[in-house]
């Protein structure tokens, strides 16, 4: 599946994950040929808020946030209306979170760089929906806001 060239990605992390974030920024720009803006680093709550607000506002099509566990950034991101964050630890979770659940924020934990690249690639390549039957369920989630 080809990634849409108009995709604009926002990314941020906690200070200890700067090397992984930087590697992903380079990968997204050079290997996937997408626009990615680095929102820097900070507390997991502040980074998740900045990235999710930018995505929810429509300035970016998707966002990536990285912390030690992935859970904290996902929890914080999901407090922003219009942000649908998921913590993915492998490519299959990434594929399903997009194709079934229409996630727009990917939360990653501290992990090996190559694993993170594979998760990001699959997540960015996967369209929503896999099947039309998933659309009404996503609309139910959106209507809960």
By annotation, the residues acting in catalysis are: 67
Q: Which two tokens stand for residue 61?
A: 């099509």
Kindly compute the dihedral angle of the four CA atoms of residues 85, 80, 139, 103, in this order, to the nearest 10 degrees.
Answer: -20
Q: How far apart are CA 84 and CA 21, in angstroms?
A: 20
User: Which backbone phi and psi does 22 adopt, to 5 degrees?
Assistant: -60, -40
């Amino acid at each position: 599946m080809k990634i849409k060239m108009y995709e604009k990605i926002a990314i941020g992390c906690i200070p200890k994950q700067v090397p992984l974030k930087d590697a992903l920024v380079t990968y997204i720009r050079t290997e996937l040929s997408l626009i990615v803006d680095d929102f820097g680093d900070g507390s997991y709550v502040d980074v998740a808020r900045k990235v999710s607000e930018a995505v929810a506002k429509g300035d970016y099509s998707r966002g990536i946030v990285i912390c030690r566990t992935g859970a904290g950034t996902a929890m914080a991101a999901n407090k922003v209306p219009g942000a649908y964050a998921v913590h993915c630890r492998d490519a299959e979770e990434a594929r399903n979170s997009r194709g079934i659940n229409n996630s727009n924020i990917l939360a990653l934990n501290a992990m090996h760089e190559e694993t993170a690249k594979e998760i990001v690639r699959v997540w960015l390549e996967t369209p929503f929906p896999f099947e039309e039957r998933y659309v009404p369920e996503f609309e139910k989630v959106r209507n809960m806001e």
